[in-house]
């Protein structure tokens, strides 16, 4: 089994300002690395709510907890339902919330999920195995135009239209079933000189399909305002993103909630009544250092942003 290395572990945990007895949420449990570190700090008096839509991630973490005397709720759900999850647990507010938007090494190397372009596996990509939409559905059933839009908007893929056409041409012959078949199609759509760069040629297409399959950007936009609302005064929210689309959403929503009054500058008295909800702790995102990226190349694109509830 792959060994998961949590990204920006020290920086994110320190940024949450946890104490003995804190109540914290790990909204994206994954491999459990961040949750394990949180538990060391909050101790037996603290409480952890660990959330993930991946049933295997839940099962793996419960095994880690076996025999440990700590106050932990492990919930299989999507973090876009954060407020409902906490209300169902009769929790009114928490001291800290962490969301690591990346995938664990365990998830990326799970052939049943089929997320990696480095493994030939069924073309699925669902983190929630109960979800209906798969990557296979997208490449075989979406129109050529829709596929091109997804690859351009979510993957920022320069060859989006060419890849979409190749996908449309191939599926006329046979259904596209595996990640290996899709990688072959992607490569066939690219000029030779672009197939041997630092990034694997399928990186951006697979990113786009994962986002569409799991509604990643939409659920992030739903999650952040709820996270801010569920924090106690002085509580902190830390979010680790892994590509520019996610980071832009995080940055913009945090800025909006930190701004307060939105009246025109020439208004002598505020008419909107808007109040700042958070203070931004990280004026610029925290990124991994050379040592971490050397040990864990998947960390190289990570960005950490932190805010504090006012």
**92 and 39 part of one domain:** yes
**187 and 46 part of one domain:** no
> Distance between CA atoms of 252 and 227, rounded to whole angstroms?
15
DSSP-derived letter for residue 268 is: S
Q: Which domain holds residue 84?
A: 9-106+216-309
Identify whether 158 is part of a domain. Answer: yes
How high is the pLDDT of residue 67?
78
Identify whether 3 is part of a domain. Answer: no
**222 and 293 part of one domain:** yes
Q: Which CATH number goes with the domain that contains 237? A: 3.40.50.150
Q: Are 302 and 249 within 8 A, CB to CB?
A: no
**99 and 59 part of one domain:** yes
Identify which has the larger pLDDT, 274 or 254: 254
**209 and 220 part of one domain:** no
Among residues 150, 153, 154, which one has the least CA distance to residue 167?
150
Q: Please give the C-alpha separations between residue 31 and each of 4, 57, 70, 168, 296, in angstroms, as whole numbers.
A: 6, 6, 18, 36, 15
Q: Which CATH number goes with the domain that contains 201? A: 1.10.150.170
Among residues 135, 71, 111, 94, which one has the least CA distance to residue 232?
94
Q: Which of 147, 179, 214 is the last residue of a domain?
A: 214
Residue with tokens 């892994």: 242
- Report residue 248 CA to chain centroid gap: 13
pLDDT band at 3 (very low <50, low <70, confident <90, very high): low
**127 and 179 part of one domain:** yes
- With b for 16 or more beta-carbon neighbours within 10 A and e for fewer, the 11-44 pattern comes to bbbebbbbeeebbbbbbbbbbbbbbbbbbebbee
Between 164-173, 174-183, 191-200, 259-268, the lowest mean confidence (pLDDT) is in 259-268
**90 and 135 part of one domain:** no
**56 and 184 part of one domain:** no
**16 and 101 part of one domain:** yes
Give the total number of structural domains in the chain.
Answer: 2
How high is the pLDDT of residue 26?
98
**85 and 222 part of one domain:** yes
Identify whether 2 is part of a domain. Answer: no
For range 170-183, the mean pLDDT: 98
Of all residues in the chain, what percent carry a pLDDT higher than 70? 99
**59 and 143 part of one domain:** no
Identify whether 299 is part of a domain. Answer: yes
The answer to whether residue 1 scores a pLDDT higher than 60 is no
Q: Which of 214, 230, 259 is the last residue of a domain?
A: 214
The answer to whether residue 96 scores a pLDDT higher than 60 is yes
Of all residues in the chain, what percent carry a pLDDT higher than 90? 83
Identify whether 4 is part of a domain. Answer: no
How high is the pLDDT of residue 87?
98
Identify whether 1 is part of a domain. Answer: no
Q: What's the pLDDT tens digit per position in 99-132?
A: 999 988 888 888 889 999 999 999 999 999 899 9
The answer to whether residue 272 scores a pLDDT higher than 60 is yes
Could you give the strand order of the β-sheet that contains 231-241, starting from the edge strand earlier in sequence? 71-76, 47-52, 23-26, 94-100, 231-241, 303-309, 278-280
Identify whether 67 is part of a domain. Answer: yes
For range 55-60, the mean pLDDT: 94
> Distance between CA atoms of 2 and 23, rounded to whole angstroms?
30
Other beta carbons less than 10 A from residue 274's beta carbon: 14
**129 and 188 part of one domain:** yes
Q: Which of 194, 214, 234 is the last residue of a domain?
A: 214
Mean pLDDT of the chain: 94
How high is the pLDDT of residue 2?
53
Q: Are 49 and 24 within 8 A, CB to CB?
A: yes
């Amino acid at each position: 089994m792959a060994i998961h290395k949590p990204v920006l572990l020290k920086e994110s945990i320190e940024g949450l300002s946890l104490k003995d007895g804190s109540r914290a949420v790990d909204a994206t449990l994954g491999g459990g690395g961040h949750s394990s570190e949180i538990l060391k700090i909050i101790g037996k008096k603290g409480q952890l709510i660990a959330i993930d839509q991946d049933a295997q991630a839940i099962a793996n973490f419960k095994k880690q907890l076996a025999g440990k005397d700590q106050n932990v709720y492990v919930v299989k759900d999507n973090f876009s339902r954060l407020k409902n999850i906490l209300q169902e647990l009769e929790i009114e507010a928490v001291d800290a919330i962490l969301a690591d938007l990346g995938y664990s090494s365990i998830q990326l190397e799970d052939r049943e999920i089929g997320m990696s372009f480095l493994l030939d596996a069924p073309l699925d990509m669902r983190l929630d195995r109960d979800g209906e939409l798969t990557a296979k559905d997208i490449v075989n059933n979406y129109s050529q135009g829709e596929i091109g839009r997804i690859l351009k908007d979510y993957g920022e893929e320069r060859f989006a239209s060419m890849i979409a056409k190749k996908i449309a041409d191939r599926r006329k012959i046979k259904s596209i079933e595996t990640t290996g078949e899709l990688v072959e199609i992607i490569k066939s759509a690219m000029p030779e000189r672009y197939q041997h760069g630092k990034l694997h040629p399928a990186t951006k297409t697979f990113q786009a399909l994962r986002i569409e399959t799991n509604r990643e950007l939409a659920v992030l936009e739903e999650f952040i305002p709820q996270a801010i609302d569920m924090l106690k005064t002085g509580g902190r929210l830390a979010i680790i993103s892994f590509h520019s689309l996610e980071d832009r959403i995080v940055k913009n929503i945090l800025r909006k909630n930190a701004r307060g009054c939105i009246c025109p500058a020439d208004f002598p008295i505020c008419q909107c009544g808007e109040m700042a909800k958070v203070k931004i702790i990280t004026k610029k995102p925290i990124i991994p250092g050379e040592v971490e990226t050397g040990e864990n190349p998947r960390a190289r694109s990570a960005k950490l942003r932190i805010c504090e509830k006012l």
